[in-house]
Amino acid sequence: MTDAITVEGVRKTYGARKALDGLDLTVARGTVHGVLGPNGAGKTTAVRIMATLLRHDEGHVRVAGYDVRTDADAVRRRIGLLGQHAAVDEDLSGRQNLEMFGRLYHLGVRRARARADELLGRFGLADTGSKAVKQYSGGMRRRLDLAASLITDPEVLFLDEPTTGLDPRARGEVWGAVRSLVGGGTTVLLTTQYLEEADQLADRISVIDEGRVIADGTSDELKAKTGGDRIDVVLHDSAQLAAAAVLLPGEASVDEDRRMVSAPVADRMAALTQVVRALQDAGIEAEDIALRRPTLDEVFLDLTGRGTEVKEDA
Amino acid sequence: MSTTTFEAVETGAGSAGGTRLGWALADSWTMTRRELLHWARQPVQVVVGLAFPVMLLLMFGYLMGGGLGIEGNYREYLVPGMFALTMAFGLDATMVAVTQDLNKGVVDRFRSMPMTNGAVLVGRSAADMLQSLLSLIILMGVGLAVGWRWHGSFAAVLGAMGLLLLLRFAMLWMGIHLAMVAGKPELVMAVQILVWPVSFLSNAFATPESMPGWLGAVVEWNPMSATATAVRDLFGNEGGVSTASWASEHASLLAVVWPVVLVAVFFPLAVRRFGRLSR
């Protein structure tokens, strides 16, 4: 068996609300799988079920070869979990936390201590001394949390929105740590609201909405499906917006407030030169031209015909 | 590195019965140790927790002692009542601690680990009992300083301490269960406030005979009153077992039965509730 995670037809309801409505997911061993979706799509529910924290109503879930319902302990021995909120004891120091978790993973006292030191060093926390975790910065706390989920070198690591609420620098730190892990053969399931994050880290991406997968594939495949990169052109004069929209390749959208036209592009550099030249020829003055990845909102608009704002917050 | 750690984890959770019990004890100790580390890191909080009942005892002994209409040495009557009150107030301490824990992400991590399920609760329980024992010893010391004495044998003193800790143990499991039911700190506050009148509706400060008939009856049947009466009896203080009423006559029996019933009800409820956090 080569799949690290298989999820088949999983349903979970909270009262009348369907959190998961027939979720299917397969993650090959040693890969990074991104689960992308807006708030309330069911990402966290799915992770909590896979990590044995929550029971599903229907369907089958196997993680690292074991059924999460009937073999929860076997699964727990093989997984690491980084939840949305820091799952460490904030009143203890980083070392005390890692040593405690090591003991609870039954490493024995001596090994738990050695492992704590090793992980503190690896995540740049060796000099935190006896400082309580609540005095850590957001990025440090996240790194400690990540270190705690790696105490046993898990076969499967769940990262539930690992960078939500972090500043760009801390986000970069977490990304770096995740990349270095993947080299070691760990299977990673990553949920995120940021397309860029999935793009940066994941081999394959599943887009989920209302508890179901609505699209999946590699980042490139999804981009091909949803129009890929976009070009934004901000004009000097909003009267020329309609004229500029015609010049762009593909179907352009117009944002009057920002004096901007935007369109999907297939080939980034070719599109850029082409648009610059076309604008020049037409005598339209551009204030700014930028190439960028589509936002989650635009992907959703393409896949579902509606944006993410209407979604209820979970 | 990866393979070696893994082997350890595999053997660690070995299926042999003896090993399983061994790990259950080890996990429980790790969780107890966690609470002790909290104490070491927040000594002020520990001192405040221990000083609070001392303050109450001094306040009632000196400020209000004269006005409560107890014949004889009021402090001899009050001090054992304060012991029982302190044990009852433990409900509040346990609830706050459990609620804080459950609202932190760390319990999620515990639950995603292959550790013994109940170890989190056992750790809480062990730490709270230790704190209460410490608190009781300090309070007895302060009691001696303000003129309270025991007149029974040393075995009776130990018996009294046992009854008090039994009440605390009942409050402990009640607290764990209620905290999990309430879930949110705001609801816990409501219970915290209720602990006051319920504890004061006992014979800790005044005899039931001094109250209106119906109130006296309520007070007599308060589990805390049974413990206070039985303990006064064992210490040889005033207000011990008497023939004033059925409850008073059988206080020693009730002081055992009440807590045992409470534990029998709330222990399984609490353990089940903890296991069901996954639904």
Domain boundaries, chain B: 2-278
Distance from CA of B275 to the nearest CA of A (A): 10
Chain B residues touching chain A at CB-CB below 8 Å? 1-2, 5-6, 8-10, 12-13, 23, 26-27, 30, 33-34, 37-38, 41-42, 104-106, 108-115, 119, 277-279
Is residue B24 helix, strand or coil?
helix
Per-residue pLDDT for A188 more than 90? Answer: yes
The whole-angstrom separation of Cα A80 and Cα A140 is: 18
Q: Answer for the pair B202, B228: CB distance below 8 angstroms, yes or no.
A: yes
Ranking B103-112, B135-144, B171-180 by mean pLDDT, the lowest is B103-112
List chain B residues with CB under 8 Å of A106.
8-9, 12-13, 23, 26, 114-115
Residue B58: other Cβ atoms inside 10 A? 14
Tell me the pairing of strands A32-36 and A187-192.
parallel
Q: Answer for the pair A139, B73: CB distance below 8 angstroms, yes or no.
A: no
The whole-angstrom separation of Cα A66 and Cα B28 is: 26
Tell me the pairing of strands A66-67 and A58-63.
antiparallel
What was the pLDDT predicted at A105?
93
Q: Answer for the pair B136, B85: CB distance below 8 angstroms, yes or no.
A: no
ipTM of the complex: 0.82
Which whole number is the average pLDDT over A217-231?
A: 78
Say whether B38 and A92 touch across the interface (CB within 8 A): yes
The whole-angstrom separation of Cα B129 and Cα A80 is: 33
Nearest chain A residue to B104, by CA: A87
Ranking A14-23, A34-43, B236-245 by mean pLDDT, the lowest is B236-245
The whole-angstrom separation of Cα B209 and Cα B248 is: 11
What was the pLDDT predicted at A296?
66
| Helices then strands, each counted (H, E), chain A | 11, 14
Residue A182: other Cβ atoms inside 10 A? 17
Is the domain spanning A3-224 CATH 3.40.50.300? The answer is yes
The angle formed by the CA atoms of residues A72, A75 and A80, to the nearest 5 degrees, is 125
Residue B41 burial (C-beta neighbours within 10 Å; 0-12, 13-18, 19+): middle
* Residue at token pair 């023939």: B243
CA B133 to chain centre: 9
CA Rg value for chain B: 21
Which of B3, B4, B5, B32 should we substitute to test contact with A (largest number of A Cβ atoms within 10 Å)? B5
Which whole number is the average pLDDT over A260-272?
A: 84
Domain boundaries, chain A: 3-224, 229-292
| Helices then strands, each counted (H, E), chain B | 12, 0
Which whole number is the average pLDDT over B206-230?
A: 87
Is the domain spanning A229-292 CATH 3.30.200.20? The answer is no
Half-sphere exposure of B45 (CA within 13 A, CB side): 12
What was the pLDDT predicted at B258?
94
Whole-prediction pTM:
0.81
Which pair of structure tokens corresponds to residue A196? 């860029």
List chain A residues with CB under 8 Å of B42.
91
Nearest CB partner across the interface for B114, out of A85, A105, A115: A105
**Minimal CA–CA distance to A213: which of A68, A35, A38?**
A35
| pLDDT digits 0-9 by tens, A134-183 | 999 888 898 899 999 999 889 999 999 988 878 888 888 888 888 888 77
